[in-house]
């Protein structure tokens, strides 16, 4: 291999890096490694380790610097720089290029990378929640809950989709019923401003569970006639960084009623938010639900609550029934998208 490029998917929880070459119109991976992001003080420390590991098994990597690097990052990028939203790293494309002698370095939003991957995904990478009636060349939207909430738009221009990243995960949270009204009040009292990400994310699922613990047993007139919770009334509030995994374990492995209710509420809000984005962009080309959480709760996403909330848009319910909705279950979608953009950088400069 005469030269190679680096692609990366960098988030608050994990960093996945890949060294590959573009050969015979195909991306051929030569080395890949996953890192726990919070175990490192900076991205430079991660990249140093990655290049060292990659060189141990490949003489060309050892002898040459990468020709390009495209790094998908969880956070808003401004003039090639980013302060990661859920990680204490600052990344600067020019500084990375200088330190590692890489001619071209580009930072892109992590959900822009997911959006870049959509054209390359196979049928096995997608689970269909609603087939709908897809319109070729119409707007698409990709969204996903993980450490945070990411959103990117796919806009048809000429003969291909261009990607528009966003910070739509930080828009104000809306409530759809009395229970969600109480959730919003609970979070507002603790956080002040309540964004979508405060609920639709791993930490957000923990917030929902803790709210339900506090709310459980109270006499709320709007809840009369509904099924009461039969779970433990005083389960300890979850605070640790793996809170979402703990809630999922309680729900799926222990049939814990409060955790199950938290999962249901999470999925309902998720579906309503996805529907709001679909309406905002009139995304007749499809809605793609990605992110780290979706594959792990795929059965819950498929059980109907997500799509009921997605379609529940009053006079526009019939329109919502026509919009295709997919779950991206390939855990490397962001990395695939970053690799596609690195390939484009090599081909077009």
Percent of the chain with pLDDT over 90: 71
Q: What is the pLDDT of residue 219?
A: 60
The pLDDT score that the predictor gives to residue 40 is 94
Give the closest residue to 19 by CA, choosing from 9, 33, 37: 33
Chain center to CA of 250: 23
Q: Looking at residue 229, what is its pLDDT?
A: 45
pLDDT at 2: 56
User: If you average pLDDT over residues 57-84, what whole number do you get?
Assistant: 86
Annotated domain spans of the chain: 5-110+332-348, 169-328
Is the pLDDT at 65 greater than 90, yes or no? no
Q: Where does residue 92 rank: exposed (0-12), middle (13-18), buried (19+ CB within 10 A)?
A: middle
Check whether 15 has a pLDDT greater than 80. Answer: yes
Continuous segment of H or E residues that includes residue 34:
strand 26-36
Q: Residue range 76-90: average pLDDT?
A: 88
Burial zone of 217 (CB within 10 Å; 0-12 exposed, 13-18 middle, 19+ buried): exposed
Give the CATH number of domain 169-328; options: 3.10.20.600, 3.20.20.70, 1.20.120.420, 3.40.367.20: 3.40.367.20
pLDDT digits (tens, 9 = 90+) for 84-119: 877 889 999 999 999 999 999 999 988 899 999 998
Query: According to the model, what pLDDT value does residue 217 have?
Result: 63
Residue 305: Cβ within 10 Å count:
19
- Per-residue pLDDT band for 1 (boundaries 50, 70, 90) equals very low
Sign of the CA dihedral running 117, 118, 119, 123:
positive
CATH of domain 5-110+332-348: 3.30.420.40
Dist. CA 310–CA 149, nearest whole Å: 17
- Please give the residue that has the higher pLDDT: either 183 or 61: 183
Section 120-133 average pLDDT: 95
Mean pLDDT score, 233-245: 67
- In sequence order, the β-bridge partners of residue 281 are none
What is the predicted pLDDT for the residue at 87? 83
Which residue stretches of the chain are H helix?
Answer: 43-56, 59-63, 93-100, 110-117, 178-191, 202-215, 243-254, 257-281, 298-302, 305-311, 317-320, 333-348
Q: How confident is the model at residue 349 (pLDDT cuts 50, 70, 90)?
A: low
pLDDT digits (tens, 9 = 90+) for 139-178: 999 999 988 899 999 999 988 899 998 999 999 999 999 9
**More reliable by pLDDT, 50 or 62:** 50
Number of neighbouring beta carbons within 10 Å of residue 107: 25
HEC per residue, 225-247: CCCCCCCCCCCCCCCCCCHHHHH
Query: What was the pLDDT predicted at 228?
Result: 45
Percentage, residues of the chain above pLDDT 70: 91
Indicate whether 212 pLDDT > 90.
yes
269 token code pair? 């809000």
What is the number of other CB atoms lying within 10 angstroms of the CB of residue 256? 20
Helices (H), 135-198: 178-191
pLDDT at 231: 45
Mean pLDDT of 255-277: 97
Give the SS3 label for residue 141. strand
Q: Name the least confident of 133-137, 286-290, 322-326.
A: 133-137
DSSP string, 281-312: HT-TTEEEEESSSGGGGHHHHHSSHHHHHHH-
Most confident segment among 17-31, 112-126, 217-231: 112-126
CA 43: distance to chain centroid?
Answer: 20
Please compute the mean of the pLDDT values over residues 337-348 and round it to a whole number: 87
The whole-number pLDDT of residue 85 equals 74
State whether residue 95 is helix, strand or coil.
helix
The reported pLDDT for the residue numbered 147 is 85
């Amino acid at each position: 291999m005469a030269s190679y490029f680096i692609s990366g998917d960098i988030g608050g929880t994990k960093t996945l890096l890949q060294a590959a070459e573009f050969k015979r119109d195909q991306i051929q991976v030569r080395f890949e490694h996953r890192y726990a992001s919070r175990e490192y003080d900076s991205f430079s420390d991660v990249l140093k380790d990655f290049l060292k590991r990659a060189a141990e098994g490949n003489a060309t990597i050892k002898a040459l610097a990468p020709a390009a690097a495209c790094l998908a990052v969880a956070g808003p990028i401004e003039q090639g720089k980013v302060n990661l939203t859920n990680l204490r790293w600052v990344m600067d494309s020019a500084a990375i290029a200088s330190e590692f002698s890489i001619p071209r370095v580009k930072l892109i939003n992590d959900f822009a990378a997911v959006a870049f991957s959509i054209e390359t995904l196979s049928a096995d990478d997608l689970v269909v929640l609603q087939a709908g009636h897809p319109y070729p060349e119409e707007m698409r939207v990709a969204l996903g809950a993980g450490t945070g909430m990411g959103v990117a738009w796919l806009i048809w221009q000429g003969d291909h989709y261009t990607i528009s990243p966003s910070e739509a995960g930080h828009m104000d949270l809306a409530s759809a019923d009395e229970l969600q009204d109480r959730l919003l009040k609970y979070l507002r009292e603790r956080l002040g401003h309540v964004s979508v990400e405060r609920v639709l994310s791993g930490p957000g699922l923990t917030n929902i569970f803790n709210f339900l613990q506090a709310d459980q047993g109270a006499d709320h007139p709007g809840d009369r006639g509904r099924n009461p919770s039969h779970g433990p009334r005083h389960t300890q509030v979850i605070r640790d960084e793996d809170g979402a995994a703990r809630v999922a374990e309680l729900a799926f492995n222990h049939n814990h009623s409060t955790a199950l209710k938290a999962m249901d509420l999470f999925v309902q809000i998720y579906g309503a938010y996805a529907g709001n984005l679909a309406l905002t962009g009139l995304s007749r080309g499809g809605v793609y639900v990605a992110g780290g959480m979706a594959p792990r709760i795929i059965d819950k996403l498929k059980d109907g609550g997500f799509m009921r909330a997605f379609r529940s848009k009053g006079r526009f319910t019939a329109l919502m029934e026509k919009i295709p909705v997919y779950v991206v279950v390939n855990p490397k979608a962001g990395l695939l998208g970053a690799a596609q953009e690195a390939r484009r950088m090599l081909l077009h400069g």
